[in-house]
Amino acid sequence: MSYKSVQGEEINPFIPKHAEDPALYYKHQLRTDNRTVFLLLLAFFALQNIAASIVMLVQFFVAGGLNVMLSSISSGDPLTDAMHLLNSLPGGTGIPMIVGVIVGTPIFFLLRGKRLITTDITASNRPMTLFIFIALFLTAQAFQTVDILFSFITDTVFSGTDFSPSESYQSSASVALSDPTGLLYAMLIGPFCEELVFRGAILKTLEKYGGNYAIVVSSMIFGLYHVFLLQAIFAFLVGILLAYTARTYAFRWSVLLHVLINSSAILLDYAFSDFVSSLIFAGIFVLATVIVIKQRSTIIDAVTSGRPQAPLTWKYAFSAPAMLIFLAIAAAASIGMMFF
């Protein structure tokens, strides 16, 4: 849909021909869709955490109760005790996360209906090539360099205190990946469900307002969903690649790319020290930069063709109360998790 269509000279299929003011209808529909996405995402997050908490309570009960578990691992340090407690959950630390995401994901059927498991994930556009897939994978890995740099900056800012943002996140991640069920979640179940939610339901709902808008907003939401600030920045950047992949090629390729991104990060973390991993990511960053420069015309074409459906789309979206409230809640959660 061009800007002319919003002015009424030609009407896009999603704007009724009888709409008295197509521009006003466009603004109202955009904000309604955004608000619906935000509410469903908050419900998804709530369901996911409630289900995970219930499973953890069952695990505590099976283990003989919270007091029994605490008495056997008490070290005097609350954070250390919490980590040991989670690591000792019967069945593994990944079980609550797996159950949580499986319980929460179906709520997006309210947004897309049966399309969520039919056209949303089966549609295919351009054919994928090995070169393009490798280029996308390397670019995603290169974003790790940005994440490492930001971690260094935040740790430097807090260097005079007992708090380290990167250590806080790494401690939580190490617990989640400490057993096979955690690895199963991070390397397979999590990526598939997240793709279904963010590149299936949300991306498809927003793309009628323009490819760039759908990609950026769905990726922003994807980043904020990860809560931890350091992880959120990386997730936002990777989300752009995944959304571009799903929209330009096919949903199955974004799923595979997501699985490989998570799996490679975990394997590198297990196989190499932080210093060696940083050198590897730095090398990949240089290689990815060369690829991006050589493919700049393709990137420019993609950005140009994906421009929002109307010049005021961004203003309509980011001035809406629902968007501002959602961003405020997400920012508060991220800041809170940094100091948790």
Q: What is the DSSP string of 196-225?
A: IIIIIIIHHHHGGG-HHHHHHHHHHHHHHH
Evaluate whether 95 touches 59 at the Cβ level (below 8 Å): yes
Tokens of 97: 């996360």
Sequence spans of domains, the chain = 3-338
For the chain, first and last CA: distance in Å?
Answer: 46
User: For residues 223, 105, 187 and 142, what is the CA-based torsion angle, rounded to 10 degrees?
Assistant: -20
pLDDT score at 200:
94
Q: How far apart are CA 104 and CA 45, in angstroms?
A: 7
In this prediction the pTM is 0.85
pLDDT score at 10:
41
pLDDT score at 182:
87
Over the Cα atoms of the chain, what is R_g?
22
pLDDT score at 217:
95
pLDDT score at 34:
93
pLDDT score at 137:
92
Mean pLDDT per 10-residue segment, the chain (340 residues): 42 66 86 94 94 87 61 52 63 87 95 91 90 91 79 71 60 63 91 96 93 94 86 91 95 96 85 78 84 84 77 88 89 72
pLDDT score at 160:
66
Q: How far apart are CA 25 and CA 31, in angstroms?
A: 10
Backbone angles phi, psi at 249, to 5 degrees: -115, -85
